[in-house]
């Protein structure tokens, strides 16, 4: 009835709708921090707080209502157009057996069933939009925070931090953007506590309904055609537990006992693109012989090497999906940083990270012989985020922070986000070191002239460098991103913590 490719494409428009919803909500959070970031006293924020939170609630409700209205249009298209089209493909099998085929428009029983499933899907969407929030790391654990609570807590925290001088605007807004983009807008199942990114939740809701409908149509057709056999579709990059049964013919009870029909992890379950359709021995022809299936599956299991690791076709496809998700998150971060008006260096750094993932993605796809699926990355509709000259970065060697007599004297003072001073943890090293502005790059250091006056080193000789390291924090060591300036006469100076990795 439907090919794996058909099933893959069905929820795309709806996934796009909810990717748009996610971005609109994150942009609204950033906009409110930006507008209220000029508040100079905590008391002023308290005066405006109830009004601002009330307005944010109205905005969220409007966004959700708009998304649900558009969802209904797309769901109707799937159930009225796509299902009807797929149903019509069964007519050929009826003609071969001399059986009468009832056209979709005349099949009132099926239409009633589809109408009920469509309404269930719409109800699922309402439930999804009523259980949204973000996942945050709190006291070392990932916890789900409902959307309204997230707004309230985030704005309260941001305004207190900015107005008290504990953190500057750039630090606060970047911290918030990292939390949101690392999590993504999520929907929680309160019965189990399990939460998923919203595009995953809506895709699952759509595919659950489609699977129910196609299953009923195929089983009704099999009954009318007097057959108890079904052929299961085959597709590349199938998960290993599905690869063993795809492409073969089974009886109805075998679909359940062998293929796991009716279970979350089996045929027609979560993220499964396989389908099954009536097969009449002696009349129907198999799509693939056993020999062809063996050869195709053997090829799927051949391993290709990349970066010192070997991948099967399925493993490679999963790695690509992960990189696509990372690129989407990084694109969202770039867009939000631009909206927030943060310093140029932060935006440049975010773009460099995006380009690095993008280049690795292209290299990986080429080495694995898989097509790049950039449409999965560009579903945000933001277009090209990196324009003009490609940012030039210069890799440097790792920096060892030795543990020895006198090592502390050679250590570096590191400024913390709250203004305090600490040291790098002895016995560790700074890794992923690269120059991203200044000498040797095509990016300017905004404070180069100030550094020239302060240290008597020409502005053209300064570099802005970043790296991943560890700093002492009370009785523990914390993994951080570090930024500093350096020149040959001065060495490394003004080292500071840009962010804590355990805070996203």
**Structural contact between residues 212 and 204, judged by C-beta atoms closer than 8 angstroms:** no
**Structural contact between residues 228 and 151, judged by C-beta atoms closer than 8 angstroms:** no
Instruction: Give residue limits of the domains in the chain.
Output: 4-226, 309-380, 394-503
pLDDT band at residue 323 under the 50/70/90 scheme: very high
**Structural contact between residues 174 and 499, judged by C-beta atoms closer than 8 angstroms:** yes
pLDDT tens column, 324-335: 999 999 999 999
pLDDT for res 357: 92
Does 422 score more than 90 pLDDT? Answer: yes
**Structural contact between residues 424 and 374, judged by C-beta atoms closer than 8 angstroms:** no
Nearest in space to 418 (alpha carbons), one of 166, 152, 155 = 166
Spell out where 303-388 has E strands. Answer: 304-306, 309-311
Does 504 score more than 60 pLDDT? Answer: no
Give how far Cα 301 sits from Cα of 235, 239, 293, 298, 314, Å: 13, 11, 12, 5, 8
Q: Measure the CA–CA gap between 414 and 421, rounded to whole angstroms.
A: 6
**Structural contact between residues 189 and 195, judged by C-beta atoms closer than 8 angstroms:** yes
Indicate the helix (H) or strand (E) that contains 44. Answer: helix 42-77
pLDDT for res 50: 77
Radius of gyration of the chain (CA): 28
Distance of CA 408 to the CA centre of its chain: 42
Q: Measure the CA–CA gap between 23 and 178, rounded to whole angstroms.
A: 13
Q: What average pLDDT does the chain have?
A: 87
Does 188 score more than 70 pLDDT? Answer: yes
pLDDT band at residue 1 under the 50/70/90 scheme: low
pLDDT band at residue 387 under the 50/70/90 scheme: low
DSSP 49-103: HHHHHHHHHHHHHHHHHHHHHHHHHHHHHIIIIIHHHHHHTTHHHHHHHTPPPPP
pLDDT tens column, 47-87: 677 777 888 889 889 999 999 999 999 898 888 777 777 77
Nearest in space to 314 (alpha carbons), one of 325, 302, 305 = 302
Helix, strand, or coil (residue 435):
strand
Q: Residue 473: how many CB atoms within 10 A of its CB?
A: 15
Does 391 score more than 80 pLDDT? Answer: no
Does 5 score more than 80 pLDDT? Answer: no
Does 89 score more than 70 pLDDT? Answer: yes
What the block records as the tokens of 344 is 């140029």
pLDDT band at residue 216 under the 50/70/90 scheme: confident
pLDDT tens column, 105-119: 888 888 888 889 889
**Structural contact between residues 481 and 497, judged by C-beta atoms closer than 8 angstroms:** yes
Does 465 score more than 60 pLDDT? Answer: yes
Stretch 227-254: mean pLDDT = 95
pTM (two decimals): 0.71
Return all residues near 335 (Cβ < 8 A) that are at least 6 apart.
23, 27, 380, 382, 385
């Amino acid at each position: 009835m439907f090919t794996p490719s058909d099933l893959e494409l069905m929820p795309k428009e709806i996934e796009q709708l909810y990717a748009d919803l996610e971005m609109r909500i994150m942009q609204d959070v950033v906009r409110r921090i930006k507008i209220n970031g000029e508040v100079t006293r905590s008391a002023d924020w308290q005066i405006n707080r109830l009004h601002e939170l009330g307005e944010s609630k109205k905005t969220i409700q409007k966004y959700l209502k708009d998304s649900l209205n558009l969802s209904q249009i797309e769901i109707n298209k799937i159930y009225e157009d796509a299902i009807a089209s797929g149903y019509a493909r069964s007519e050929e099998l009826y003609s071969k057996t001399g059986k009468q085929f009832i056209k979709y428009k005349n099949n009132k029983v099926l239409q009633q069933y589809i109408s009920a499933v469509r309404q269930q899907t719409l109800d699922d969407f309402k439930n999804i939009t009523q259980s949204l929030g973000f996942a945050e790391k709190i006291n070392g654990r990932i916890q789900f925070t409902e959307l309204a609570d997230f707004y309230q807590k985030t704005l309260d925290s941001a305004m207190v931090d900015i107005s008290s001088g504990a953190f500057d605007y750039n630090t606060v807004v970047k911290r918030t953007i990292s939390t949101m983009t690392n999590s993504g807008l999520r929907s929680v199942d309160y019965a189990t506590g399990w939460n998923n990114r919203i595009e995953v939740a809506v895709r699952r809701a759509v595919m659950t309904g489609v699977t129910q409908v196609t299953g009923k149509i195929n089983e009704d057709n099999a009954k009318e055609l007097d057959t108890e056999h079904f052929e299961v579709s085959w597709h590349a990059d199938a998960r290993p537990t599905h690869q063993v049964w795809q492409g073969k013919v089974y009886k109805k009870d075998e679909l359940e006992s062998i293929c796991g029909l009716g279970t979350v992890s089996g045929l027609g379950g979560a993220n499964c693109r396989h389908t099954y359709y009536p097969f009449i021995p002696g009349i129907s022809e198999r799509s693939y012989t056993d020999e062809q299936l063996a050869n195709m599956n053997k090829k799927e299991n051949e391993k290709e090497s990349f970066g010192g690791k070997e991948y099967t076709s399925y493993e490679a496809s999963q790695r690509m999906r992960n990189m696509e998700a990372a690129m989407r998150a990084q694109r969202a971060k770039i867009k939000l940083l631009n909206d927030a008006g943060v310093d140029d260096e932060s935006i440049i750094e975010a773009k460099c990270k995006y380009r690095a993932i993008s280049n690795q993605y292209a290299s990986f796809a080429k080495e694995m012989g898989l097509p790049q699926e950039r449409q999965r990355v560009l579903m945000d509709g933001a277009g090209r985020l990196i324009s003009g000259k490609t940012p030039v970065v210069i890799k440097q060697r790792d920096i060892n922070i030795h543990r020895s007599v006198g090592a502390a004297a050679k250590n570096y003072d590191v400024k913390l986000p709250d203004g305090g001073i600490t040291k790098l943890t002895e016995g560790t090293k700074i890794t992923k070191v690269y120059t991203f502005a200044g000498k040797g790059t095509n990016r300017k250091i905004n404070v180069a002239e100030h550094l020239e006056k302060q240290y008597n080193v020409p502005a053209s000789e300064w570099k802005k460098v970043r790296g991943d390291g560890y700093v002492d924090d009370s009785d523990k060591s914390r993994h951080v991103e570090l930024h500093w300036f350096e020149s040959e006469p001065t060495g490394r100076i003004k080292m500071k913590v840009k962010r804590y990795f355990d805070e996203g």
